[in-house]
Amino acid sequence: MRPILRPEGFFRRAIPTGVDLVAQARLGGRVGYAVADAATGQILEVMHPYYALPPASVAKAVTCAYALDRLGPGYRFRTRIVADGTMADGRLDGDLWLVGSGDPLLDTDTLAAMAAELRNLGLREVTGRLLLAEGALPQIFQIDSEQPEHVGYNPAISGLNLNFNRVHFEWARQSGDYAVTMDARSEALRPQVQIARMRIEDRSDPVYTYAQVEGRDHWTVARGALGDQGARWLPVRRPGAYVAEVFETLARANGLTFRGVELADAPPEAPTVLVEHVSEPMEEILRGMMRWSTNLTAEVVGLLATQAGGTRPGDLRSSADAMSVWMRDQLGARQAQFVDHSGLGDQSRLRPHDMVAALVSAGPNGMLRRLMRDIPMRDAQGNLRENHFVEVVAKTGTLNFVSTLAGYARTRTGRDMAFAIFCGDVDRRAALSVAQRERPDGGRDYSARARRLQQQLVDRWAIMYG
């Protein structure tokens, strides 16, 4: 008597199906996914692949492809200081311009270096004004109007951006009251600003209020929410004015003063370029965006990509519409509909099948894959699993009661799979008030269970198809 040999692949019968895994996650709402061979496009497994859900920050992967197509990996932002007048013996008879190109990575240290370079060039006196050209991009008050007013990931957008258009608010209790600072801090500098002001009020709720008064951001904060000390980044709503104040402070530190400071759309034709800051190439900027999921970067490069296609958008929605058309035309995503380029707005909709088709089109070894970050695989207790049998690079996305993951999985046999997993309880999200959206009850638990489901699904596919 001998045991009967088990048929080839018998062990796969013990692996939970995708339907079982989704049911065990108990997420509510809807889960949709698709996985395909990344080289051939052959669909391997799906669940609700044509049900469109908010992509959250997975939208940034589409924005990456859009920017690479329209602008190219070598595109660089250029921020210039130019002279409109006559220079002689360290004196400029005319105006000095700071001309922006939308650089989303411009920070206080860079502005300080540019101001110091003016001094090194020998410029000692400016008889005219300091003018700031911010017309390279439309001025947009915020990315998503449905977000809480005080969250730093929802800033304004302009042709001149600084410190991701955020101001640093810090407080510390002193002698029974609070010392408060608002500054444009960077790695080395902390110039205080007046464009954003904070007042502490005796209340417990709401934590923050915002109003724009005479062109300045006026904030109040509830005293009962502060504790002894702390800090956070707040969004800036007038980026051009923010840059103007900080640069004037830095120029004054280098001995330069101006007759006045004004904002403008465009510089004069054929000015004399005195100083130029050139950014890293677009490829590196996008790599940072995908790693840190910076919303401002996504919106800036998306707007510029639309402009490169011959359209001058006046707002995010029209630019996002152009990206939706591009994705349908170039990648066959019939139902793609974006309201922004970062995924912050929950009205964007994308089908898992369309996202997988885009990943297949980009290729298993293409630049989009190289811009994605490694996703560590974990066990049921959240511990890292060393030398796991599948390597995953992907883009994550998180909104309240929305969790998404899309990218590539490579098995030990060398097979590449492209996948997209969209989890969303849009009704539960819609029921939240604006005040609840920063830390809603149940939000953290939903995200944890969704991430666990996503890893289980990738494990399943690696075993079944790898």
In the predicted structure, residue 443 carries a pLDDT above the cut 70 = yes
pLDDT at 378: 84
Residue 6 pLDDT grade (very low, low, confident, very high; cuts 50, 70, 90): low
Q: What is the pLDDT of residues 106-132, one digit of tens each?
A: 999 999 999 999 999 999 999 999 999
Q: What is the dihedral of CA 96, 239, 306, 360, to 10 degrees?
A: 130
pLDDT at 10: 58
The tokens describing 62, both together, are 């589409």
- Kindly state the helix (H) or strand (E) to which residue 170 belongs, with its residue range: strand 166-174
Express as a percent the part of the chain with pLDDT over 90. 88
Q: Where are the domains of the chain?
A: 10-73+282-465, 78-137+241-278, 164-230
* pLDDT greater than 70 at residue 406: yes
Question: In 309-389, which residue ranges form alpha helices assigned H by DSSP?
Answer: 316-331, 352-362, 367-371
Confidence of residue 388 (pLDDT cuts 50, 70, 90): confident
Q: Express each pLDDT in 126-142 by its tens digit.
A: 999 999 999 999 999 99
- Mean pLDDT in the chain? 95
Residue 294 backbone zone (phi > 0: left; psi -120 to 50: alpha; other: beta): beta
DSSP state of 199: E
Radius of gyration of the chain (CA): 25
Give the three-state DSSP class for 355: helix
Q: Quote the pTM value.
A: 0.95
Whole-number pLDDT of residue 270: 81
Q: In this predicted structure, what is the pLDDT of residue 466?
A: 86
Q: In the predicted model, is pLDDT for residue 83 greater than 90?
A: yes
Concatenated DSSP letters for 71-124?
T-TT---EEEEEEEEEEETTEEEEEEEEE----TT--HHHHHHHHHHHHHTT--
CATH match of 78-137+241-278 with 3.50.80.20: yes
Give me the pLDDT at residue 385, please: 81
On the question of pLDDT at 225 being above 70, the answer is yes
User: What superfamily in CATH does domain 10-73+282-465 come from?
Assistant: DD-peptidase/beta-lactamase superfamily (3.40.710.10)
Residues 39-44: contacts with CB under 8 Å, at least 24 apart? 39/364, 39/416, 41/357, 41/360, 43/353, 43/356, 44/417, 44/461, 44/464, 44/465
pLDDT at 86 over 90: yes
**Residues 343 and 54: beta-carbon distance below 8 Å:** yes
Q: Is the pLDDT of residue 91 over 80?
A: yes
